[in-house]
Amino acid sequence: MYLKEALENGNIAGDGVFDERVCDFLQKKLASPKILTVTSGTHALELAMVLADIQPGDQVIMPSFTFPSTANAVLLRGGTPVFSEVDENTLCLDLDKLPSTITKQTKAVVPVHYGGVSCPIDRLMSLAKEHQLWVIEDAAQALGSTYHGKSLGTWGHMGCFSFHGTKNLVSGEGGALSINDAEPNLMERADIYRQKGTNRMEFLKGEVSHYTWVDEGSSYAPSDLLMAVLLAQLEEMDHINQRRRQLFELYQSLISPLIRTGRLAGMARIPEGIQANYHNFYVMFHDQATRELVRKLLQSQGIGAVIHFIPLHGSPMGKRLGYAVEDLPVTNRVSAGLLRLPLFTGMEEAQVHHVVERLRLALEAKHEG
């Protein structure tokens, strides 16, 4: 019981023994040069924008099909989020359309790894290099996924992870930033910013006799209690993802016939080159009306089928940034047709069968009525 051990240790603040073990584990597992734990995936994104030195006037490209935190991190630095289209197959940035959103003001691009899968990120890295852009991966859903054998979150200059209660591995609230850029200055600045603008990390390493205020900063170190909870799960990471894979593949085999007969338009598939963490499973409907009908029917039967994400460009805040709902048709279409089906580590095969059977009946009822 790591949690009990953490309580008995007496140090429940940040940067304790469990924090160190979490960082060591993740650095090895992901082959990351440096992992910093933070209090949320949101804070990992905010810290990354600080380190990339996003300033007023800077533009940062991202999909509209993401969680508000991706865009907020840019807004908080005074920068402007620029929404680009997603690819219908991956629900990640469409790299053919990305170049048309790059301008002289573009400073960074944030690929969001939807459901733990990514766009062809090697291609994105070359594109970014050509235009001298930072790549900050929103890998909040992608811990444990790889693209051509290299961990997602370690391809870009920085990668942001989340351990929020809704993710595969959780500490309730929590996150991590992987700093992949060899620039030593970046790592040092990260330590200082995360520790309230002080050189406390140097002090903890015994490099200075006391610590003091050295730069701008905030407070992003998670309590060691949470890191104890997280470490226990990280050690089960391979089992957890293996179990999710079985459930995901069972869903795929049961849903396939519904796609063949034309009742459904599609479902989650793992793209070429990706080893996934099976973060979620979704089906795609032909139209929003059917999706809503089925969603409500399933929910009335106690099945937590949910929509995800509502595109940012069409939100009240997106409109304030100058977007109109019809601006990103592919994003709108996938978001209107998508329904996530329950997928959790402790789920039984029988429950997957039950969900799919209910879904099949709902589609039939709709067809006949």
Instruction: State the residues that interact with ligand PLP by CB under 6 A.
Output: 40-42, 66-67, 69-70, 112, 138, 140-141, 162, 164, 175
CB of 44 to ligand PLP, least distance (A): 8
Contacts 24+ apart (CB under 8 A), 313-320: 313/64, 313/83, 314/64, 315/68, 317/68, 317/71, 318/64, 318/83
Question: Nearest CA to 123 among 159, 147, 145, 139?
Answer: 147
Between 54 and 112, name the residue whose CB sits nearer to ligand PLP: 112
Between 44 and 362, name the residue whose CB sits nearer to ligand PLP: 44
Between 64 and 199, name the residue whose CB sits nearer to ligand PLP: 64
> Residue 179's beta-bridge partner residues?
34, 158
> Residue 158's beta-bridge partner residues?
136, 179
CB of 67 to ligand PLP, least distance (A): 4
CB of 140 to ligand PLP, least distance (A): 3
Between 92 and 297, name the residue whose CB sits nearer to ligand PLP: 92
Q: What single DSSP character describes residue 213?
A: B
DSSP letters along 264-282, please? S-EE--PPTTEE-----EE
Between 66 and 145, name the residue whose CB sits nearer to ligand PLP: 66
CB of 312 to ligand PLP, least distance (A): 11
- At position 253, the amino acid (one-letter code) is S
Between 15 and 173, name the residue whose CB sits nearer to ligand PLP: 173
Alpha carbons 235 and 28: distance in angstroms, whole number: 12
Alpha carbons 136 and 159: distance in angstroms, whole number: 6
Find the residue with minimal CB distance to ligand PLP: 41
CB of 227 to ligand PLP, least distance (A): 15
CB of 74 to ligand PLP, least distance (A): 13
In 3-state terms, what secondary structure has residue 262?
coil
CB of 240 to ligand PLP, least distance (A): 17
Q: How far is CA 180 from the centre of its chain?
A: 17
Strands (E), 260-343: 266-267, 274-275, 281-284, 338-341
Alpha carbons 276 and 91: distance in angstroms, whole number: 14
Between 111 and 217, name the residue whose CB sits nearer to ligand PLP: 111
Alpha carbons 163 and 151: distance in angstroms, whole number: 17
Alpha carbons 241 and 262: distance in angstroms, whole number: 30
Between 114 and 251, name the residue whose CB sits nearer to ligand PLP: 114
Between 198 and 280, name the residue whose CB sits nearer to ligand PLP: 280
Alpha carbons 160 and 137: distance in angstroms, whole number: 6
Between 49 and 362, name the residue whose CB sits nearer to ligand PLP: 49
In 3-state terms, what secondary structure has residue 5?
helix
CB of 310 to ligand PLP, least distance (A): 13
CB of 42 to ligand PLP, least distance (A): 3
CB of 62 to ligand PLP, least distance (A): 10
Alpha carbons 344 and 244: distance in angstroms, whole number: 7
